[in-house]
Amino acid sequence: MSEPVDLDPFARFRTVTRARIGLGRAGDAMPVKAVLDFQLAHARARDAVHGAVDFDRLRQELAPQECVVVRSLAADRATYLTRPDLGRQVMVEDLPKDRGGYDIVFVIADGLSAAAVERHASAVYKAAVKRLGGLTIGPVILGQQARVAFGDEIGAALKADLVIMLIGERPGLSVPDSLGAYLTFAPKPGRMDSERNCISNIHDDGLSYEVAADKIAWLAKEALRLKLTGVDLKENASSERLTQDAKPVLPSSS
């Protein structure tokens, strides 16, 4: 008796990856479902890029923590997307007047995914702060139309030893709401990307809030101890929680 034919040999691989593999074909084209799934994912990514963070709601979620909204020199979303340089510069008059110096200042910025910030930023911030006891933390800066380097000028103005930027990452076709965390010691305009540490892929199917907070806190404390960030600061935080928190990757619903 012959063995049954496996009509979809890629099905078992899709249970462990969000990648689009083995989509099949209909004649010389992709099946209709695969085409529609791709179009939906593309639309969600575009929505994430062009969306606007509800900073009033975010401020409420972070209460009673003091929050200050600071704009970049990019006047609107269209300018922000076409002039990255303006998204790195701060509207100085928006800065808080108290600049007494802090160990850490958090900046939560829209970046390239409003969805990521609205869904994950407040939870990641709260989880990280719980692990940073004993350190002086300044007001949360909410950055509008901001790029990663936006935090450098903020940190310098507030005399912070370390700036931690939580920002919406560029959306992909499988994850439109991924949050990133960037840590920069002795922030000042002109810092290079090699002088930062990055924790990426914070979202429902990536790093959990607890794992991300563990990594942020470990890097922050080491940065303040060694007085550096970037390629010279290797992330050697315990992976115990990451192992415990691991979960299978399910097929994307998009």
Q: Could you tell me what percent of the chain has a pLDDT over 70?
A: 91
Residue 60, pLDDT score: 95
Higher pLDDT residue, 10 or 90?
Answer: 90
- pLDDT tens per residue across span 94-131: 888 777 789 999 999 999 999 999 999 999 999 999 99
Residue 237, pLDDT score: 61
In a domain, 171, yes or no: yes
In a domain, 139, yes or no: yes
User: What is the number of domains present in the chain?
Assistant: 1
Peptide bond into 4 cis (omega under 30): no
Burial class (CB in 10 A: 0-12, 13-18, 19+), 63: exposed
In a domain, 9, yes or no: no
Q: What is the mean pLDDT of the chain?
A: 88
In a domain, 40, yes or no: no
Residue 1, pLDDT score: 53
Residue 212, pLDDT score: 96
In a domain, 37, yes or no: no
Give 254's pLDDT tier (boundaries 50, 70, 90). very low
Residue 78, pLDDT score: 93
In a domain, 96, yes or no: yes
Residue 244, pLDDT score: 47
In a domain, 160, yes or no: yes
Residue 249, pLDDT score: 44
Residue 152, pLDDT score: 96
Domain of 89, in residue numbers = 49-237
Residue 141, pLDDT score: 96
Q: What is the mean pLDDT of residues 139-146?
A: 96
Residue 67, pLDDT score: 94
- pLDDT tens per residue across span 144-183: 999 999 999 999 999 999 999 999 999 888 889 999 999 9
* Whole-angstrom distance, CA of residue 134 vs CA of residue 105: 14
Can you give the CATH number for the domain in which 140 is found? 3.40.50.11240
- pLDDT tens per residue across span 69-104: 999 999 999 999 999 999 999 998 888 877 778 999
In a domain, 1, yes or no: no
